[in-house]
Every structure is written in C-alpha cells, then in structure tokens.
C-alpha cells in the first residue's frame, strides 16, 4: 500500500453536493492498490442517520485510481474510508491511514462537511446539457446587404489582422434555418460591441453594438428569431480589458492621475511610470489597457453593462473573455446580479488549464475546455498519443471537476484562437470525423466552430478566421452530413446528453459508454490504419449501430478510421 498516494479533501471536487438529494465522495489511491473501498457516513449529531457504501472505481490515469460513492444528502456530513487490499484492512481518516478506529469516536477523526446549504450547491442551468453550440466570428459568417461600408474586402479574400469583410447580425439572422437544419441549438457570438477591429475584443463603447454589425433592434430580432427556433444565444463579455479609445481611458491619457478614472486601470510599478506606457494591458497589446476589476466603480460599471444587455436583448448567457484574470469578487457579483435577473443564465469562463478555482458554484457554470482540445489534438489530429495516453489525459481532466461541471463544460476542437482542426489533421477528413464523433458523444457540451461542417481550413490567427464559403453545391458535404447525423443521435438519446461516462476495457479501440437510467450507449472508435474485429463477451443479438442502422453480428469488423455507436435495440425502432 502506497499511503502517500492516498488523497481526499472535503468541500472540494473530492466531496461536494451534486444536488439537494445526493453528495458525491471521491478518494484517490495508487493504481491497483486496493480491491475494495467503502465509505462510512453519518450525521455529525444524529447518528441514526448513517450508512455504508462500496465505492466504484470512477477513473484511472495510469498513476492513480479514483473512486466515487454517491451517498444520500446529510447536511452535517461526517465520514471515513475502509481500505481493503485482499485480506488486509485499514482506515483512512482526516489524520491519515489507521489500522483500527473506534466508530464511537468518529466525531474526532472523521472527515467533515460541516453544513451543506442549498444555496451553496452548484446548479448549472439544466438546459445547457442539451445544447450543441456553434461559435460565430461575426465579421466572417455572412454579410447581409446594408448601407455601403468603407474598407470592406471582397468576401473570401485571405484574412489579415486588420481587414473587414462585412459579416453582421442581419447576416446571421438570414442563415438561422441553415443552422437549425444542421441541428444547432445554441450560438456563441464573438464580441459585437463598438470597436475599430474586426474581432471586437477591444471595446470602445460597451453600451453600443458596433454599427457595422447592427444595433439593439437587430440583436433583439436575432435573439427572438433564435428562440423561435429553439436556439439559445450567448454573448462574449470582454470585461478584462478595453480599447485604447474607451472614453474613460482617453480621460486618463489626458489628465493622468488627476483623472476620475485613473483607478479604473492597472499599472506597472503602481503607476509611477504611467507616462512611459506604464499601464498594464491584455497580453502585450498596447492598445488594450487592462481594467481593474477589483475597483468598485469598475465593477458597478461592468455589472450594469451585463445587466443591460441581458435584460434588453433577452440573451441566454455570457462567455467571459480572459475569465481567469478577472477579479473573483467581481465574478461572484456578476453571477449574483445576472442570476437574480435570469436564474437559468449560463456563465462560461475562458480558461486554458484547470479551471476548478472558478467552478465551485459561486463563479462560472463551466469553462471552455481547452485541456480537452489539446488532448484531441494529440490523439486524433497529430497521432502523438496512444489510446492509453489519451484516456489517462482525459481522466485527469475529468477528476479536476465535479460531475455537474463536467456535464456543462464547453468542449471544442478549435476556435477563433486556434488553428482549424482540419488543418491540425493535415487536412485528413477522416481524422476530423473521428474527433467529431468523440466530441458529440462525450460528456459535456459540444461546440462547433463555424465552417467546420464545410471542411474549412486555417492556420494560426488570423488565418483561422476565414470567410464562410456559402457555395455549398461546389463541395463534398460528407462532414456536414456526419455532424448532422451525430447531432440527431445525440438529441434522441438522453444518455449522450445527461448520462454517466465510463471507459471501456478495449485496448485496440477507444471505447466508452454513456448511461442514463436504463438507457446505455457504447461508442467505439478505431483511430488506426487497420481494421479491428470486435468480439464481445455477450452476444450482439439485438444490438444496432446507430450510425448505419445495421444490426451487429457475433463478430463485428470496424474498418480503419471509423466508429460505431452501439445500443441494444428496443422493441420499437428507436435508432435513426
């Protein structure tokens, strides 16, 4: 037994309330160290409320095993673990591993969750689990006819950092039936507020939609038309920084420390070098000064902005740009203000690493899961990760978060900040199709970057922000049809949207199951250059591949670079 590998922490992703009826308890151990682990639990004062649950192995990452138990809600929860390695038994308590414990003295050595308030339970909006989002870089999606704009490039020309192509909100309105036909149920818009740039991440006026994109009425019409089609809309909130031309910053440039807005911004060396570009910025970008979101005036200003657009445009959520650099006090206030206005609003944070500090129920609902993006790059696109390595990586990502967070994290293969996934794949469409199969059957909320369905390519920014090519009749629609099929399957089976996730045992294929109640789907992905023969322990009788509608035989062959989504066919023909 490797005692130093054993880990548990109450009131964390290792012990948390999943909902008002259930508490999840996890423990980490060295891999294959124990044959059985049980958790004994009780009310701290009322010992008539007690029980014992055998923990299930939830994940393994090659170094550690992770076990989970789901216990009934006890508000004053105390608990400890029984560790069994064949015939040897020991106990794990807040004081470490013990050979013997006296249950009557458990109040002294138990782990404790002192009191679970209903208001402390992290409850992401229920509707998010059902979403398939589609990210739109507004300037490049579709340009609806508007009064003539200056300096607009010919649609389809190679993008540059500073060129504009005329895409607008009206253009998105005109293409909603296309998105609905694909199966999209949520749209994430990159910034739309007044700015000189094509990307709008340098806001000049937070209360005005950029005239090149439209106005409040256009946005309201877009959101209303989306809602009529069952599509949710989230906006990009760039509250970490602003444009050099924001009027408050211009006042600071003019008056220096005498400006009433001087404290709105962050400075190097406490502002002593202000006249020498001493202000802090987003990254190293001089024309994007960093707002001090710990400042009370800045907080109220930005809260009023978020509230204004939520109330007036009836949007369904916010994606917070550079969310990990925002003052956590500000994020908590933002959550409280917006959830008070619209309780089921979705708050999504940009975070490229472990986002748990922001995902305890008082800040973000979920994050953009760029760690998963990197894992998919390695396994599907680049071939630098084996099946085992990919599973271990994904397992480490999953254990960082509570189950409810994993269900609402935004999972993506690419975005406006990365190379296009098809380009990462060396333009191999087969690799992209396998990655999309994983994305749309995995736990969490899938997000398709605009144009992925048409095989759009692109390198690093700005090349990943090309214009959408609407000449559909001139291209092979294989990717489009595969995404549409996968979304149809996802929407029909609850287990693919809400179900538990568990890796399969196959070493030749990437295999996992999704289960929700009695419904179970098994996904098998052959990411290799050779065919693989599946020989299940049980007969395949009654099983069907949802991708093809074909019944499975005793021995089933999965061709190279292909996948299957398998379900035990019910009496009615539920498969698509």
What is the set of active-site residues?
Answer: 321, 350
Residue 268 to residue 247: CA distance in whole angstroms = 21
Answer yes or no: are the C-beta atoms of 520 and 495 closer than 8 Å.
yes
Determine the Cα–Cα distance for residues 65 and 57; give it in Å rounded to an integer. 7
- Reference 432, options 556, 440, 567, 179; nearest CA is 440
Radius of gyration of the chain (CA): 26
Looking at the DSSP bridge assignments, the partners of residue 319 are 236, 348
Q: CA 46 to CA 576: how far, in whole Å?
A: 52
d(CA 331, CA 334): 5
304 CB contacts (<8 Å, ≥6 apart)?
none
Q: What is the dihedral of CA 56, 60, 64, 67, to 10 degrees?
A: -20
Q: What is the 3-state secondary structure (H, E, C) of 511-529?
A: EEEEEECCEEEEEEEECCC
Instruction: List, edge to edge, every strand of the sheet that includes 410-412.
Output: 366-367, 346-349, 317-320, 232-237, 186-189, 133-136, 445-449, 410-412
> Across the strands, what pairs with 41?
51, 79
CA–CA distance, 375 with 421 (Å, rounded to integer): 12
Per the structure block, which two tokens stand in for 261? 């807005």
Chain centroid, CA 186 distance in Å: 13
Q: How deeply is 519 buried, as exposed, middle or buried, from its count of CB atoms within 10 A (0-12, 13-18, 19+)?
A: middle
Residue 108, token pair as written in the block:
């002294």
Omega into 445 within 30° of 0, i.e. cis? no
Q: How far apart are CA 16 and CA 304, in angstroms?
A: 32
Angle between helices 478-492 and 429-441 (to 10 degrees): 10
HSE value, Cβ hemisphere, 13 Å, CA-based, for 9: 6
Q: At residue 15, what are phi and psi to the nearest 5 degrees?
A: -160, 115
Of 474, 487, 473, 406, residue with least CA distance to 440: 487
Beta-strand pair 532-534/22-30:
unpaired
């Amino acid at each position: 037994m490797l005692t130093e590998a054993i880990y548990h922490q109450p009131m964390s992703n290792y012990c948390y309330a999943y909902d008002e009826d259930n508490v999840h308890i996890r423990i980490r151990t060295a891999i294959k160290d124990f044959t059985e682990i049980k958790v004994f639990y009780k009310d701290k004062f009322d010992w008539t409320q007690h029980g014992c649950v055998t923990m299930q192995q939830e994940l393994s990452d090659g170094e550690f095993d992770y076990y989970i138990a789901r216990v009934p809600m006890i508000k004053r929860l105390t608990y400890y673990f029984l560790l069994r390695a064949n015939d040897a038994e020991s106990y794990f308590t807040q004081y470490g591993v013990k050979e013997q414990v006296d249950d009557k003295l458990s109040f002294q050595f138990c782990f404790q969750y002192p009191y679970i308030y209903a208001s402390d339970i992290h409850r992401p909006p229920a509707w998010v689990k059902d979403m398939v989002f589609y990210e739109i870089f507004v300037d490049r999606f579709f340009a609806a006819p508007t009064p003539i704009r200056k300096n607009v490039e010919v649609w389809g020309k190679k993008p540059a950092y500073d060129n504009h192509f005329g895409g607008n909100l009206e253009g998105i309105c005109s293409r909603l039936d296309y998105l609905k036909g694909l199966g999209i149920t949520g749209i994430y818009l990159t910034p739309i507020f007044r700015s000189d740039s094509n990307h709008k991440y340098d806001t000049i006026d937070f209360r005005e939609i950029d005239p090149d994109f439209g106005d409040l009425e256009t946005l309201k019409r877009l959101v209303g038309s989306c809602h009529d089609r069952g599509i949710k809309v989230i906006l990009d909130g760039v509250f970490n920084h602003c444009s050099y031309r924001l009027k408050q910053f211009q006042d600071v440039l003019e008056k220096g420390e005498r400006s009433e807005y001087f404290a709105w911004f962050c400075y190097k060396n406490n502002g002593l070098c202000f006249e020498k570009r001493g202000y802090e910025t987003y990254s190293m970008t001089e024309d994007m000064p960093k707002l001090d979101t710990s400042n009370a005036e800045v907080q109220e200003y930005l809260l009023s902005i978020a509230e204004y657009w939520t109330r007036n445009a009836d949007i369904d959520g916010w994606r917070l740009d550079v969310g990990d650099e925002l003052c956590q006090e500000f994020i908590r206030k933002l959550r409280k203000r917006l959830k008070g206005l619209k309780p089921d609003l979705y708050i999504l944070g940009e975070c490229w690493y472990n986002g748990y500090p922001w995902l305890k129920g008082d800040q973000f609902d979920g994050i953009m899961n760029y760690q998963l993006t990197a894992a998919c790059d390695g396994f599907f696109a680049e071939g630098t990760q084996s099946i085992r390595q990919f599973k271990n990586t994904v397992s480490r990502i999953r254990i960082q978060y509570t189950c409810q967070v994993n269900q609402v994290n935004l999972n993506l293969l690419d975005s406006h900040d990365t190379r296009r996934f098809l380009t990462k794949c060396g333009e191999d469409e087969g690799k992209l199709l396998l990655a999309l199969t994983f994305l749309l059957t995995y736990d969490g909320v899938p997000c398709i970057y605009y144009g992925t369905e048409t095989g759009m390519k692109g390198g690093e920014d700005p090349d990943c922000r090309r214009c959408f090519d609407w000449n559909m009749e001139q291209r092979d629609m294989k990717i489009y049809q595969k995404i549409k099929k996968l979304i149809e399957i996802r929407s029909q089976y609850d287990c693919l949207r809400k179900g538990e996730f568990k890796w399969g045992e196959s070493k030749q294929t990437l295999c996992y199951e999704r289960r929700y109640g009695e419904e179970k789907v098994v996904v098998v992905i052959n990411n290799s250059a050779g065919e693989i023969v599946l020989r299940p322990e049980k007969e395949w009788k009654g099983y069907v591949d949802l991708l093809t509608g074909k019944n499975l035989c005793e021995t089933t062959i999965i061709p190279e670079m292909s996948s299957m989504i398998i379900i035990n066919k019910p009496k009615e023909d539920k498969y698509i």
